[in-house]
Homo-oligomer: A and B are copies of this chain.
């Protein structure tokens, strides 16, 4: 096992697609997969290719787990807050309630998309033309992000120039490089004469710019820029794992779920809630209730994507150590809300995809990255990452959430409410059979230890990854389990 974990650790972030090559299965070798999220589905796909018999048990009414796209008629099974999505029956009107983006570095998922024939398009993640709005900044008025960013860079470069000590620079860089550095800063901040920042075309013009000469926008002082919490997150978030290019399946993230499910011989068994797991020397026996009826099944191996904290509530014969590890992976909180709008009014504001950021509870408004120039569109009207806000948000009914989203959205888009047609919301920490989003936790050691199987029971999903919340992590976890399973089969043969 150590070798495989080491290999995983050395896996480059920006890699070619990882694959697993399983030896052909011996006759009638069977694998049980608990939970039909993306990790189980991809594992079943690989196992079936190698000749294994698979059985997939899923507690809810649908496959895909958090890889969930809502369209007309879809059910949101939030506990005590069940909703039906009332969007128009139109394939372009969809809402990714879970993941919506595939970073270019996630080569394994991208590889599966190619292999399964899932068409991809660009997801506009960074859009400096979108708005920022923070009550303590600019009198609470919205501002284009590009304007904020250009001013922040400009004043920062000016400040750097001012603080540069030629004697120090000469010692560090030498005279010619000192001049280069000064030029670099001018270019970086778009500084004018005397190395002062007086505005930049990077902000966009207040008038003209093409036919007639452009007039620069007024600048905002650094002192004031600091008042917008935009710099704490929105300004830089698209420079980490969500840097361009970011991709998305055309028509919704669950196109991956349908594409892989269509290739499976064993379709996920829905409404099947696992109640007991008995890990035996040569296999795993599982008890489950399928629409209330108690059933029993058995396989040579079991891969479980059940959230660790729910797995603990299942009758089991895990060791105390394993149970302690499972208890060390609680789930985080996350909410999203989708709004069908009768007009794509944001495109008239020059916004084609991307994200507006606000200090209000909704945190973000995300705009569709496709279907430009069409009539209606679905916005992500709230995307809440803060635990504190999520604690408030989760107790609201869906109607109350929609009401708040409309009210808060008004500060970013005057007339927002007048475009509203229909909304749907998901608080993952209140979702049935889930009760949480990405696994959080203390030390990377716990996730690493959970990647080691308990006998023939493997925990899979992004919960065993160091950095969860990504399809790529889920799929890699499944491939790692399969590689170990394959090795065990050689020993057993």
Q: Which residues of A contact B (CB under 8 A)?
A: 5, 8-14, 16, 104-105, 107, 110, 113-114, 119-122, 124, 126-129, 144, 146, 149-150, 152, 156-157, 159-160, 162-165, 172-173, 177, 180-181, 184-185, 187-188, 190, 201-202, 204-214, 222-223, 226, 231-232, 235-236, 239-241, 243-245, 247, 347-348, 350-354, 369-370, 372-373, 444, 448, 451, 464-467, 470, 472-473, 476-477, 480
Contact = CB atoms under 8 A, between A and B. Distances in A.
Contact of A156 (B160, B177, B209, B473): B160
26 contacts: A5-B212, A9-B208, A9-B213, A13-B207, A13-B208, A107-B350, A110-B373, A119-B373, A120-B373, A121-B121, A124-B245, A128-B243, A128-B244, A156-B156, A173-B222, A187-B235, A202-B236, A209-B466, A211-B451, A211-B464, A211-B473, A211-B477, A213-B444, A214-B466, A245-B352, A245-B353
Contacts of A163: 159-160, 162-165
Contacts of A160: 156, 159-160, 163
B226 A476 contact: no
Contact of A164 (B120, B159, B347, B472): B159
Copies in the complex: 2
A207 B10 contact: yes
Contacts of A185: 156
A352 B159 contact: no
A164 B240 CA distance: 27
Given A150-B239, A204-B14, A373-B114, A122 B448 contact: no
The listed residue with most B CB atoms (<10 A of its CB), out of A5, A119, A211, is A211
A180 B107 CA distance: 38
Contacts of A207: 9-13
A447 to B, nearest CB: 8
A157 B127 CA distance: 23
Contact of A465 (B9, B210, B480): B210
Nearest to A144: B14
Contact of A201 (B107, B156, B202, B241): B241
A187 B222 contact: no
